[in-house]
């Protein structure tokens, strides 16, 4: 497991499950009145902004308190600093928190998607 944190909480990320951040630039094609000839396109491109950065990972919680803390942050949409093992540090919110497989005792896997705040 690598060094990934959500605020002061270690996320216990499962090796190979981290989908690093990616950006999507928005480009829209807007139709215009057709020209009289076929030499020019009858649309313009509008570019601006980008979607918010997202990261997805799978991790393990070792007790119900850790699970409840992540769930509470999800419900309240708490903004915390996410830091990955490669030096990325961003203010993010939890977009989606899903509990996965129960392992044993109070140990559960989870899937977490974070979104740039």
Return the pLDDT at 38.
Answer: 80
The confidence score (pLDDT) of residue 17 equals 93
Our CA dihedral for 54, 116, 44, 39, rounded to 10 degrees, sits at -30
Give the model's pLDDT for residue 96: 96
User: Higher-confidence residue: 95 or 1?
Assistant: 95
Q: pLDDT at residue 48 above 70? A: yes
The region of weakest confidence among 3-7, 38-42, 68-72 is: 38-42
Mean pLDDT taken over the chain: 90
Residue 23 in this model has a pLDDT that exceeds 80:
no
Whole-Å CA distances, 73 to 10, 47, 66, 79, 114: 14, 34, 11, 8, 11
| 41-59 residues labelled b (16+ CB within 10 A) or e (exposed) | eeeeeeeeeeebbbbebbb
Averaged over 74-81, what is the pLDDT? Answer: 96
pLDDT of residue 110: 95
pLDDT at 35 over 80: no
Q: Residue 1: pLDDT above 60?
A: no
Query: Residue 40's pLDDT is what?
Result: 81
Q: Return the H-helix or E-strand segment holding 77.
A: none
pLDDT at 89 over 70: yes
């Amino acid at each position: 497991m690598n060094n990934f944190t959500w605020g002061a909480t270690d996320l216990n990320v499962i090796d190979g499950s981290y989908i690093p951040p990616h950006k999507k630039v928005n480009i829209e094609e807007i139709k215009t009145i057709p020209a009289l000839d076929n030499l020019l396109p009858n649309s313009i491109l509008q570019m601006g902004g980008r979607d918010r950065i997202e990261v997805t990972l799978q991790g393990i919680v070792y007790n119900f308190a850790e699970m409840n803390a992540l769930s509470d942050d999800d419900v309240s949409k708490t903004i915390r600093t996410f830091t990955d093992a490669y030096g990325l540090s961003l203010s993010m919110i939890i977009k989606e928190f899903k509990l996965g497989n129960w392992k044993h005792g109070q140990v559960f896997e989870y899937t977490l998607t974070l979104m740039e705040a």
